[in-house]
A = this chain, B = another copy of it.
Amino acid sequence: MSEYRKSPVMGQMMSQPLLISSIIRHADRYFGNNEVVSRRVEGDIHRYTYRDCHRRSRQLANALATLGVQMGDRVATLAWNGYRHLEAYYAVSGSGAVLHTLNPRLHPDQIAYIANHAEDQYLFFDMTFLPLVEAVAPHAKTIKGYVMLCDRDRMPAETKIPNLLCYEDLIAASSADYEWPIFDENSASSLCYTSGTTGNPKGALYSHRSTVLHSYASTMPDALNVSGRDAVLPVVPMFHVNAWGLPYSVPLTGAKLVFPGPALDGKSLYELFEQEGVTFSAGVPTVWLGLLTYVAQNNLKFSTFKRTVIGGSACPPAMMKTLRHQYGIEVVHAWGMTEMSPLGTTCTLQARHRALPEEAQQALLEKQGHVIYGVEMKIIDDSGAELPWDGKTYGNLLVRGPWVISSYYKGEGGDPLQDGWFPTGDVATIDPDGYMQITDRSKDVIKSGGEWIGTIDLENIAMGHPAVLQAACIGLAHPKWDERPLLVVVKRPGAEVSKEELVLFYEGRIAKWWTPDDVAFVDALPIGATGKILKNRLRESFKDYKFPGA
């Protein structure tokens, strides 16, 4: 921060950089006996304490030094949520290297492109990803060695991967005698590439400062509200924007940390929730769909699960109501981006909202919410003018704050900022109380007769129909209106509904001219690596479509 004007009178407080290593040291020293429980790719349940995690992280830091990893070097992971991945989080960043979480849902060519762009030096991977790593390795130009996260007896008898090392051998050979280095808090700590629907993937390069500030902010009661009373199960993957920061924010509170590994199906999750007394979880809507379906089919209840944060995309209102009213689970909408570490807003009610009728409360909770202190936001029109906060006017959403990127790694894509603000690519309204609601991605919004139609509202309404399992709305060319909405629907198994019924279902629920002109039924929607519907792919597959009568 040395670029700013100094006061003639400077504070006389201790100078301590904000470093990620301080989190695991804190968890060890003050919550050392608290548990980290992992369902492993090996299939069993592993449990140890924050003290164990800190000890093994220090061993791994020594192992990294032995491997020749230097400050600033990128060390990649391809791994599920688990204790070894957590150790890599602390050992790599804590020692001054850069943790680069790769997304295993990407195509091997994309993974190789990203690993080469990042110039990764080592790749740590879960054994389920052995075939993927075998596909990536021949194209990876900078990786000096591959570390499989397993015991010696799980190592493959033969492999084409060059310099394949065993994680537990590395740990066993390394001393826990390691002092976390102290360095400038603006040093890079971790790297995560955006999925990049257009252009090349681009890397968000986080710093220790941004990560620690985000950790403080995200634990606050109106953000993720993580406390030592919780047992937290992050369903959101550690390869996706650092699992929304939970691998940092949970240890710093001393809460019990429960990792699901690769088993994200309803049954596996439900069993882990119940066995480990999980109170709080976080993930994208599609995961809760699987969990709720399993629970409903087997007529089960949750004994300890009390609160969930849903992000990635908006929670369909019907699902939110089921969670809230049928299971008594508090649902908090969160919104953010890879470029925002990721948390920007959460939707929690304030004291004066308690008096509102249930319907008004539900309407508020369906919004993306208010910014977390540290982040600022505004909506602007295409000319850059700021738009009013009336809850109706749509605009391009811009953000800024100490955990928002200023540029992409290596300057990819040029300067992304507009007057110091980051354009999110989302279109949103903000109401007079500061509650923001995403109405669309700017590239998905439907421009009909010079006006904008937000597709998220249209999808939420369709999802409220009992026969609809999934819905996506896209704008397609129309000779008169420029674009008009087409609703694309996946029906629930065994359910039947006609196009006409669905179009009629919008009556009274939305402005008439917003109603989709037509409905198309499909077996499945194209889903991207981060669980979102790929609308560009959908538009592509309907490119020859013509609206009836048009």
**Nearest-CB residue, chain B, relative to A3:** B15
The one of B17, B182, B350, B402 that contacts A13, using a Cβ cutoff of 8 Å: B402
Number of copies: 2
Is the beta-carbon distance between A9 and B205 smaller than 8 angstroms? yes
- A288 at the binding interface (Cβ < 8 Å): no
The CA of A13 and the CA of B18, in the complex, are separated in Å by 14
Partner of A348 from B10, B229, B420 at Cβ < 8 Å = B229
Instruction: Give chain B nearest CB distance to A338 CB in angstroms.
Output: 12
Docked-complex contact A205 and B11, CB < 8 angstroms = yes
Q: A1-B17, A15-B3 are in contact. Are A186 and B10 (CB under 8 A)?
A: yes
Q: A187 and B10 in contact (CB under 8 A), knowing A31-B434, A220-B216, A348-B229? A: yes
A1 and B4 contact, CB distance less than 8 A:
no
Across the interface, which residues of B come within 8 angstroms of A183, CB to CB? 4-7
Residue among B26, B227, B406 making CB contact with A222, cutoff 8 Å: B227
Given known A32-B434, A229-B351, A434-B32, contact A72–B8 (CB-CB < 8 A): yes
Report the interface size for chain A: residues with CB under 8 A from the other chain: 97
Which residues in B have their C-beta under 8 angstroms from that of A96?
7
- Determine whether A85 belongs to the interface, using a CB cutoff of 8 Å to chain B: no
The answer to the question of A208 belonging to the interface, with a C-beta cut-off of 8 Å to chain B, is: yes
**Cβ contact within 8 Å between B4 and A351:** no
Beta-carbon contacts under 8 Å, A183-212 to B: 183-189, 204-210
Q: In this assembly, does A368 line the interface, its C-beta being within 8 Å of a C-beta of chain B? A: no
Task: Name the B residues within 8 Å of A358 (CB-CB).
Answer: none
Whether A48 sits at the interface, judged by CB under 8 Å, is no
With A1-B186, A209-B11: A228-B98 Cβ-Cβ less than 8 Å: no
With known contacts A14-B405, A216-B220, A229–B30 Cβ distance under 8 A: no
The reply to whether B348 and A227 form a contact with Cβ atoms under 8 Å apart is: yes
Contact of A351 among B10, B231, B405 (CB under 8 A): B231
Q: Which residues of B contact A222 (CB under 8 A)?
A: 227-229, 253-254
Residues of B within 8 A of A277 (CB): 351
Do B4 and A404 touch across chains, with their CB atoms under 8 A apart? no
A370-378, A440-448, A542-550: which lies at the B interface?
A: A370-378
List B contacts of A1 (CB < 8 A): 1-2, 15, 17, 184-186
A11 to B213, Cβ gap below 8 A? Answer: no
Q: Quick one: which of A4, A182, A213 has the most chain B CB within 10 A? A: A4
Given known contacts A1-B186, A7-B96, A220-B221, what 17 new A-B pairs fall within 8 Å (CB)?
A4-B182, A5-B181, A6-B184, A9-B72, A9-B187, A12-B409, A13-B209, A13-B404, A14-B420, A22-B373, A26-B373, A34-B351, A216-B220, A221-B253, A228-B350, A228-B351, A229-B349
27 contacts between A and B (CB under 8 A): A1-B1, A1-B17, A1-B184, A1-B185, A5-B181, A5-B184, A6-B184, A8-B71, A9-B98, A9-B188, A10-B187, A11-B186, A11-B207, A11-B208, A14-B404, A14-B405, A31-B433, A216-B216, A216-B374, A220-B221, A220-B227, A221-B227, A228-B349, A231-B351, A252-B373, A254-B350, A254-B370
